Amino acid sequence: MIKKIKLKLAEYLAKKKFSRKQSSEKNFQKFFSESKQILIILPKSNNSLVEEAIEIIRFLSIHKKELFIIQSKDQFSYLPNDFKYSSLIISDDDKTKIGLPNKELISKIKKHTFDLVIDLNRENDIFSSAIANIPLSDFRIGFVKVGADYFYNFQIPNEINPEKSYRNLLNSLRMF
């Protein structure tokens, strides 16, 4: 019961504090090709960090994008080291009592500027959705999930098969 109340409070506060008004006037025609710095939020579970998610990161690296990856400590070993990226390791200490990013984490992220934010979490995770909205990026990509309209202005269908979802994201990026 208390967990549900905390989640509802976190969702309400995240929508109030982190969501951005979606402008219908944004031109998505070249949003990927013109992006230089990209923030990638890895899925919180290692089971979701499938080969297709890694392929998205490789694709971005091949296209000479400056990558900044937010990941947990145990995900470091999953990422291949054949490309260059900066990272920020997060833990439960970076969350408030209701599961939102704390002030210290917000200030660490705000030190950087990003043209594009990609959240690779397929499950509902208010923490990663809030992180995706900390930078003042015009373009934020996420998967279709409950409440995603508040946080992402480009959404990818969330398939039952995670590989297919990530492949859809990769194919969408290839179009731009």
Of the candidate ranges 13-27, 36-50, 105-119, 136-150, the one whose mean pLDDT is the lowest: 13-27
Q: What is the mean pLDDT of residues 108-117?
A: 93
Of 57, 22, 59, whose CA–CA distance to 137 is shortest?
22
Q: What's the pLDDT tens digit per position in 40-80? A: 999 887 666 677 888 888 899 888 899 999 988 887 777 77
* DSSP three-state, residue 72: strand
- The per-residue pLDDT for 46 is 67
Q: Are 133 and 151 a contacting pair, CB within 8 Å?
A: yes
- The per-residue pLDDT for 48 is 63
Q: Which of the four pLDDT bands, split at 50, 70 and 90, describes residue 81?
A: confident
CA 134 – CA 129 distance, rounded (Å)? 9
For every residue of 43-84, DSSP letters joined together read -SSGGG--HHHHHHHHHHHHTT-EEEEEEEGGGGGGS-SSS-
- The per-residue pLDDT for 21 is 60
Q: Give 20's DSSP letter.
A: -
Please state, rounded to an integer, the average pLDDT across all residues of the chain.
84
Would you list the domain boundaries of the chain?
A: 2-18+28-175
Q: What percentage of the chain reaches a pLDDT higher than 90?
A: 35
CA 34 – CA 46 distance, rounded (Å)? 30
In angstroms, the Cα distances linking 100 to 13, 130, 145, 148 are 9, 7, 18, 16
Output the pTM of the full model.
0.86
Q: What is the mean pLDDT of residues 94-98?
A: 91
Does residue 120 carry a pLDDT above 90? yes
| Kind of pairing between the strands at 86-90 and 116-119 | unpaired
Domain 2-18+28-175 sits in CATH at: 3.40.50.2000
